[in-house]
Amino acid sequence: MAFVVGKAAPAFELDAVHQGQFTRLSLNDFKGKWLIVFFYPLDFTFVCPTEIIAFSDAYEQFRKLGADVVGVSIDSKYCHLAWTQTARKNGGIEGMTFPLLADLNRQMASDYGVLNSDGVALRGLFIIDPDGVIQHATVNNSGVGRSVEETLRTLQAFQFVREHGEVCPANWHPGSSTIKPDVSKSKDYFAHAAEAALQG
């Protein structure tokens, strides 16, 4: 995934399902906004609905941070629509709050480096900044779902860095100390961290 981080996000324009309707979405539709793009293998599977429901239920948290979310798989828009109309108790994602893109020709998954040898997407997740640059990329194999909480934390960290110019240490959360990226000034953080470790 290192080949995409810090670079312009690959453009896309795909059919999608959003709020029970067919639409067409492109990367340009999200220009000037933070965007979470997450790929998943297939509709009507097992781990996938748990992830989509988790992100859907947290969608307003992303919106409050000025971020949009889109899901992407190689399924058709018709398959997406059927899945969004299937009850959660039956493995569906009824009540879904954000768009699902239909990457039928697999071009987007290929461009983002998550297309596997079976022709489906791995669980790739990308945070794209308002300038269209990928700031974060992770990929899981199909058996393990991703963490909404960690995605929110990482988004907030990159937003902080963009706004304030300081950098975020390991396990940073909003309100925690940050580091001034300067040889001398950074020692304030390290000294404080070392003292806290001795006391803790």
DSSP state of 41: S
**Phi–psi pair at 17, nearest 5 degrees:** -115, 130
Q: How long is the chain?
A: 200
Q: Which of 19, 46, 7 is closest to 126 using CA atoms?
A: 7
Instruction: Round the CA-based radius of gyration of the chain to a whole number and report it.
Output: 19
Is 48 an annotated catalytic residue?
Answer: yes
C-alpha atoms less than 13 angstroms from C-alpha of 91 in its C-beta half-sphere: 7
Please pick, among 16, 35, 48, 109, the residue that the annotation labels catalytic. 48
Enzyme catalytic residues: 48
